[in-house]
């Protein structure tokens, strides 16, 4: 199985790559084959964790490019706010962090009812970094709308995200709403969302934002408020401890998508990504527990023998000027 990674050419991204173990040479080239076929593990070391109820999931080694295991990796499902990973891969490199935007009514037009928001207000001034913290920490659709407006508008951004997905080899994704808000026909897959996360992690700004547990956000009168990341694995909240080695990436929820999560962690020189879509168990924190179990399994298994699910082929790199 092949996963495309977008490689940033900026010096900051290269510094992050060195720090995390991702490198240009560690992302081998190769063709994207058909979806893997499941098979029984050959040894106890490869036995997958019990209780996995997600409609689709994947765990991959971001360093070597190996997909360690997967279930329905190309099943097309509503992604909820995990689609913001693709939004960030597409738009984040375009605007300097210190650039200031005074928000207009047009910037916030079309915000969906019930959207998650960070509290962006018309007439107030925000840096691009403020807006990205709103996107990654609070999953703020209002911040996405402002950044998309800066990028040429909602429809233009959706089209560009679609082009980015195709360039990365992510063929299961159809973009209708750049913020991940439920929209007819909008789908992605565990495979594609892993593609987007791995591409994003090669960008120093993306990696920093998605790993930030708490930050100050502008409020009225020049004051700030403290915002906390909604990713419970990252923060350690709602009865969950912070996951050891967690470095991001993005969680989501809508009534159509259920709970969705792309989680990346680094331990003992290895970076793994687990993507979990719509667990059916009904258990509290189920999406986080299943992702954590897959990461635990992956860290115990990485470097041993063959991958589960016929998924042992390397990911490939697509170099892009984006």
Tens digit of pLDDT for each residue in 4-26?
Answer: 333 333 333 323 333 333 322 22
pLDDT of 257 > 90? The answer is yes
The pLDDT value given to residue 3: 43
Separation between Cα atoms, residue 94 and residue 311, nearest integer Å:
34
Average per-residue pLDDT for the chain: 84
127-144 pLDDT tens trace: 999 999 999 999 999 999
77-110 pLDDT tens trace: 999 999 999 999 999 999 999 999 999 999 999 9
Per-residue confidence at 303, pLDDT binned at 50, 70, 90? low
Terminal Cα-to-Cα distance of the chain (whole angstroms): 24
Separation between Cα atoms, residue 194 and residue 196, nearest integer Å:
5
Per-residue confidence at 32, pLDDT binned at 50, 70, 90? very low
The pLDDT value given to residue 138: 98
Domain-wise residue ranges, the chain: 4-318
Judged by phi (left if over 0) then psi (alpha if -120 to 50, else beta), residue 29 lies in beta
Q: Which residues touch 9 (CB under 8 Å, ≥6 apart)?
A: none
- Per CATH, the number for 4-318 is 3.40.710.10
pLDDT of 200 > 90? The answer is yes
Averaged pLDDT for residues 288-293: 98
pTM of the model: 0.84
Active site residues: 81, 84, 139
The pLDDT value given to residue 239: 97
> Which range has the top average pLDDT, 281-285, 306-310, 312-316?
281-285
pLDDT of 125 > 90? The answer is yes
The pLDDT value given to residue 146: 98
């Amino acid at each position: 199985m092949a996963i495309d990674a977008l490689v940033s050419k900026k010096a900051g991204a290269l510094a992050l790559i060195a720090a995390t173990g991702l490198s240009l040479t560690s992302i081998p080239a190769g063709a994207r084959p058909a979806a893997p076929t499941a098979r029984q593990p050959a040894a106890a070391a490869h036995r997958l964790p019990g209780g996995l109820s997600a409609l689709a999931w994947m765990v991959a080694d971001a360093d070597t490019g190996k997909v360690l295991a997967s279930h329905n990796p190309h099943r097309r499902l509503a992604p909820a706010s995990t689609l913001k990973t693709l939004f960030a891969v597409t738009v984040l490199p375009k605007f300097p962090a210190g650039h200031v935007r005074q928000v207009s009514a047009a910037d916030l037009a079309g915000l969906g009812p019930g959207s998650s928001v960070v509290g962006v207000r018309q007439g107030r001034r925000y840096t691009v970094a403020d807006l990205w913290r709103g996107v990654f920490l609070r999953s703020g659709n209002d911040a996405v709308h402002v950044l998309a407006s800066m990028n040429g508008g909602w429809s233009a951004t959706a089209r560009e995200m679609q082009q980015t997905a195709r360039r990365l080899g992510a063929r299961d994704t159809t973009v209708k709403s750049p913020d991940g808000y439920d929209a007819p026909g909008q789908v992605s897959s565990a495979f594609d969302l892993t593609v987007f996360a791995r591409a994003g992690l090669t960008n120093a700004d993306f990696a920093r934002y998605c790993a930030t547990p708490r930050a100050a956000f502008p409020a009225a009168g020049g004051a700030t408020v403290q915002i906390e990341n909604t990713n419970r694995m990252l923060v350690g909240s709602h009865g969950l401890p912070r996951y050891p080695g967690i470095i991001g990436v993005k969680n989501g929820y809508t009534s159509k998508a259920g709970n969705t999560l792309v989680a990346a962690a680094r331990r003992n020189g290895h970076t793994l990504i687990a993507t979990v879509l719509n667990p059916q168990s009904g258990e509290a924190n189920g999406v986080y527990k299943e992702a954590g179990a897959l990461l635990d399994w992956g860290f115990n298994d990485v470097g041993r023998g063959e991958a589960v699910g016929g998924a042992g082929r390397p990911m490939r790199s697509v170099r892009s000027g984006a």
